[in-house]
Chains A and B, each alone.
Chain A
Amino acid sequence: MKKLINDPSDVVDEAVAGFGAAHADLVVVSHDPTFVRRSAAPVPGKVALVSGGGSGHEPLHAGFVGLGMLSAAVPGPVFTSPTPDPIVAATQAVDAGAGVLYIVKNYTGDVLNFETAADLAEAEGITVRTVLVDDDVAVKDSLYTAGRRGVAGTVVVEKTAGAAAERGDSLDAVAEVARRTNAATRSMGVALSAGTVPHAGEPSFTLADDEVEIGIGIHGEPGRERIPLEPVDAIVDRLLDAVTDDLGLASGERVLLFVNGMGGTPLVELYIAYRRAAEALEARGVEVYRSLVGSYVTSLEMQGMSITLTRLDDELTELWDAPVETVALRRGR
């Protein structure tokens, strides 16, 4: 393992400290317990959005704290969900009396810790709603698994729900926007190599030079299928077919096409993938109405990418286009 770190046990604290120092205009960092909040929070009358999860997915989640997206983010240890304490502390710090929405990726640890935090926050008199993100189509049979994982689609859910909160929607209305966005969103990813958790010191799985892993999640866990390396166009077709089939996309529909890098893949490759995905969607009569390309939901230095589609209606498009000012996403300001 070769990494630009000091002590592996200081990785999250030092990274969060650096994040706070670099972006003091947008965020305030709390230590012990660790969370990152929007510097303007709490905003009177506004529903607050709190998300979080294991570290190692940067810029998710702290990178999306700011106007039009999250009110606070709670980074846990690398690839491990935060405990309830910092989630409750973040909730208290951003609640403006209008309630707090938790946006939680559907991973067992995230779900259990946010569930416990919601119980504790409710006991403090704060109204909490939780929306689970489960956009990953790679997990097929949800009856016999923990259910679909939340992956890159989390960014889309945080964006539209954040915009709904910013325009003054009630807690239930913001939660409904988040649920509707999640229901309209599907993703699937591929890995060429795994990331290395600093504590573990070695990659979470190894692939031969001529192998790729299809259907990976974002915690270094292997996917569903290991196949020989193919040209990127063929891999894109594989991912896109799974996503469009699951979404039941029909000709004439509009989508957001989001090509997400997993942390170790350069933009040049992501744009090659985007080009193919856009062509293939066009060939199906699907209009690529909005786009996002970049590494937004990563898995340390994993090489690979995921493709996310969100079926857009007029309201979701308007919310996607609404102003946002965060470290990782800025528009219209």
Chain B
Amino acid sequence: MTLDATWTRAWIDRTADVVAAEHTALSELDRQIGDGDHGENLLRGFTAVRAKLADLPADATPGAALKLVATTLISTVGGASGPLLGTAYLKGSAALGDATELDAEALVAFLTAARDGVVLRGKAEVGDKTMIDAWTPAVDAAAAAAADGASPAAVLRAAADAAATGAASTEPLVARKGRASYLGERAVGHRDPGAQSSSLIIAAAADAADGSSKES
């Protein structure tokens, strides 16, 4: 079983829906330890992504669609999350190449390259209270699931579950990167907004895969 361009578009659509539904909550998380605009920034980005997706050729590969997401986020989001998430999609899409059918291994390669892109730009590690705390467990869980012979949808579900746990795990942490790092101990008890949004994005990928599987 594989996932194709239909899944990619469904994922992007679901992500835009989730961001629209959750942007206030994301900004509220950001208000507690940052400056309160994370949800607004992502909403601006994914609204632009949805508009641009309409112009994408019907036969565009998953890699091409995700590259469009990357460039659109980089040129519309700003702040730290624009370059970071944009680089994730950019490196991830490059890892997919021209593939039209994505198997479990391709999805692991995508997630790994995306995570590595965020690390490259933001230079954060697990435990710094950043989006890496969602991405790295997601990559590890996806790789483990793929090694066990899981389907692409199951690989994404494993990644989504691990990302959600990872996002929750940021709550007791002192931030060492980004704006929350200025708070010292006072960041403790608050979930990192970037880890939370990354977890929502990865969950949307799994939800889209479930939808695609049922439809096919």
Contacts and interface: CB of A to CB of B under 8 A. Distances in A.
Nearest to A205: B31
Contacts of B31: 200, 204
Interface stretch (B71-79, B96-104, B161-169): B71-79
Contacts of B40: 77, 199-200
Interface string A199-214: 1100010000000000
B84 A204 contact: no
A109 B181 contact: no
Interface string A258-298: 00000000000000000000000000000000000000000
B21 to A, nearest CB: 17
A66 interface: no
A77 B78 contact: yes
Interface stretch (A18-26, A172-180, A220-228): A220-228
Interface in A85-117: 85, 107-109, 112-113, 115-116
Interface stretch (B51-59, B150-158, B172-180, B195-203): B172-180
Contacts of B79: 76, 80-81, 109, 113
A79 B37 contact: yes
Contacts of B122: 108, 112
A219 B181 contact: no
B189 interface: no
Contacts of B83: 84, 109, 112-113, 115-116
B41 interface: yes
Given A219-B179, A221-B182, A224-B182, A197 B78 contact: no
A165 interface: no
A139 interface: yes
A145 B36 contact: no
B181 A83 contact: no
Contact of B36 (A116, A146, A200, A224): A200
Contact of B37 (A77, A107, A145, A222): A77
A107 B122 CA distance: 12
B183 A222 contact: yes
B35 A82 contact: no
A71 B76 CA distance: 24
A65 to B, nearest CB: 20
Q: Provide the main secondary structure of the chain A interface.
A: loop
A199 B77 CA distance: 15
B28 to A, nearest CB: 9
Contact of A146 (B74, B82, B177, B184): B177
Contacts of A224: 182-184
A84 B179 contact: no
Given A80-B41, A224-B184, A146 B75 contact: no
A197 B83 CA distance: 22
B51 to A, nearest CB: 15
A197 B36 contact: yes
Given A145-B176, A197-B37, A81 B78 contact: yes
B77 A107 contact: no
Q: Name the residue in B79, B82, B84, B181 with the highest tally of chain A Cβ atoms < 10 Å from its Cβ.
A: B79
Contact of A80 (B74, B78, B177, B182): B78
A260 to B, nearest CB: 18
A203 to B, nearest CB: 9
Contacts of B93: none
B37 A221 contact: no
Contacts of B37: 77-80, 197, 199-200
Interface in B15-50: 27, 31, 34-37, 40-41, 44
A217 interface: yes
Contacts of B186: 222
Contact of B27 (A78, A107, A109, A200): A200
A75 to B, nearest CB: 11
A116 to B, nearest CB: 6
Nearest to B27: A200
B94 interface: no
A83 B74 contact: yes
Contacts of B27: 199-200
B182 A139 contact: yes
A53 to B, nearest CB: 10
Interface of A: 76-85, 107-109, 112-113, 115-116, 138-139, 144-146, 149, 197, 199-200, 204, 217, 219-224
Given A80-B35, A116-B74, A220-B35, 14 more contacts: A77-B37, A77-B41, A81-B78, A83-B74, A83-B82, A84-B74, A112-B84, A146-B181, A146-B182, A197-B35, A199-B27, A200-B27, A219-B35, A219-B179
7 contacts: A76-B79, A79-B37, A84-B74, A109-B81, A112-B121, A144-B181, A204-B35
Sort A-B residue pairs by CB-CB distance and give the 5 closest, nearest first.
A145-B181, A112-B83, A109-B79, A109-B80, A108-B80
